[in-house]
């Protein structure tokens, strides 16, 4: 009988705290939801009817272009709702990440108190995280200084907190015009520049960002 190996994860860095994953394991053909009780940040992929996995991607397209499959999982800040674009079932897999400072009480969340964490993984380490409120009354660029001296990996989400689909949240979309980005994030060795575009009628939005220590090689 071997000795019990006790291993701990000793980290001076914040890492993404996953509350739940793979909420829907069976094919989704319609609308379903699960109330979460508070805002979360979603990341995910889905498998189409041909068995091919895709990232969640923004919807819409420019005329003259061929678009990829639209988002098939709508994540609201306090609810996970699945819809499908088309007639074929899809299987989404996603994680819901906690926002620092918020309390989560939904019974479907992972509860791992007093457990050992043994992991061969190298978890992405959060260097900087935050959020800010703004509106879509005008195109706005917000600078966040990370000061790392290299191009880091990041994640940025936008939550709509007013009209249309309130509390709809997803990673920020990227678009531009002849002058540059009208929506999206530019990264340099010292800062990230988050641009949110003009949408009429104006909406209140919350932008969440995470800048990791991991750099692009």
Partner 1 sequence: MNTDDRIIDDELQGLGYLGQASGTISVASFTFFSGATQTFSTTLPLASEQTMSISNVKFSGVGNTGVNNKWIYSTGKLSFRNTSPSYDVLLLIDRTPDGQVIKVQLYNPTVASNQTVPNITISIKSYYYAPSW
The residue (of 68 and 163) whose beta carbon lies closer to partner 1 is 68
130 vs 163 by CB, closer to partner 1: 130
The two tokens of residue 86 are 């088309």
Rounded least distance, CB 217 to partner 1, Å? 5
Interface ranges with partner 1 (CB under 8 A): 6-10, 15-18, 21-22, 43-45, 52-58, 62, 64-66, 68, 93, 95, 110-117, 119, 121-124, 151, 153-156, 171-181, 184-188, 192, 214, 216-217
Of the two residues 175 and 202, which places its CB atom closer to partner 1 in the complex? Answer: 175
Residue ranges of E strands in 178-217: 180-187, 191-196, 204-215
**Residue 170 contacts residue 122 (beta carbons within 8 Å):** no
Least distance in Å: CB of 139 to partner 1?
A: 12
Instruction: Give the separation between CA 127 and CA 211, rounded to whole angstroms.
Output: 6
Nearer to partner 1, 147 or 163 (CB): 147
**Closer of 35 and 177 to partner 1 (Cβ):** 177
Here the tokens at position 64 are: 């003259």
Q: What angle do CA 23, 96, 184 make, to 5 degrees?
A: 125
**Closest distance of CB 96 from partner 1, Å:** 10
Q: CB 182: neighbour CB atoms within 10 A? A: 15
At its nearest, how many Å lie between partner 1 and the CB of residue 81? 19
Answer whether 182's CB lies under 8 Å from 172's CB.
no
* Cα gap 169→40, rounded to integer Å: 9
CB of 77 to partner 1, least distance (A): 18
Are 143 and 195 within 8 A, CB to CB?
A: no
CB of 207 to partner 1, least distance (A): 12
Using an 8 Å Cβ cutoff, are 19 and 109 in contact? yes
């Amino acid at each position: 009988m071997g000795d019990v190996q006790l291993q701990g994860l000793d980290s001076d860095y914040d890492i993404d705290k996953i509350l739940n994953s793979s909420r829907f394991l069976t094919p989704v053909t319609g609308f379903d939801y699960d109330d979460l009780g508070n805002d979360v940040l979603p990341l995910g992929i889905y498998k189409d009817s041909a068995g091919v996995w895709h990232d969640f991607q923004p919807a819409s397209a420019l005329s003259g272009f061929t678009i990829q499959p639209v988002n098939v999982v709508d994540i609201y800040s306090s609810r996970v709702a699945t819809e499908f674009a088309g007639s074929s079932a899809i299987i989404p897999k996603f994680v819901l990440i906690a926002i620092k400072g918020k309390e989560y009480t939904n019974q479907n969340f992972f509860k791992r108190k007093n457990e050992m964490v043994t992991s061969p993984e190298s978890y992405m380490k959060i260097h900087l995280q935050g959020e800010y409120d703004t509106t879509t009354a005008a195109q706005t660029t917000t600078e966040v200084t990370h000061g790392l001296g290299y191009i880091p990996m990041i994640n940025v989400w936008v939550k709509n907190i007013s009209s249309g689909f309130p509390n709809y949240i997803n990673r920020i979309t990227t678009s531009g015009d002849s002058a540059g980005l009208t929506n999206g994030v530019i990264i340099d060795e010292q800062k990230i520049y988050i641009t949110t575009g003009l949408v009429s009628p104006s909406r209140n939005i919350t932008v969440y960002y995470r800048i990791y220590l991991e750099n692009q090689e």
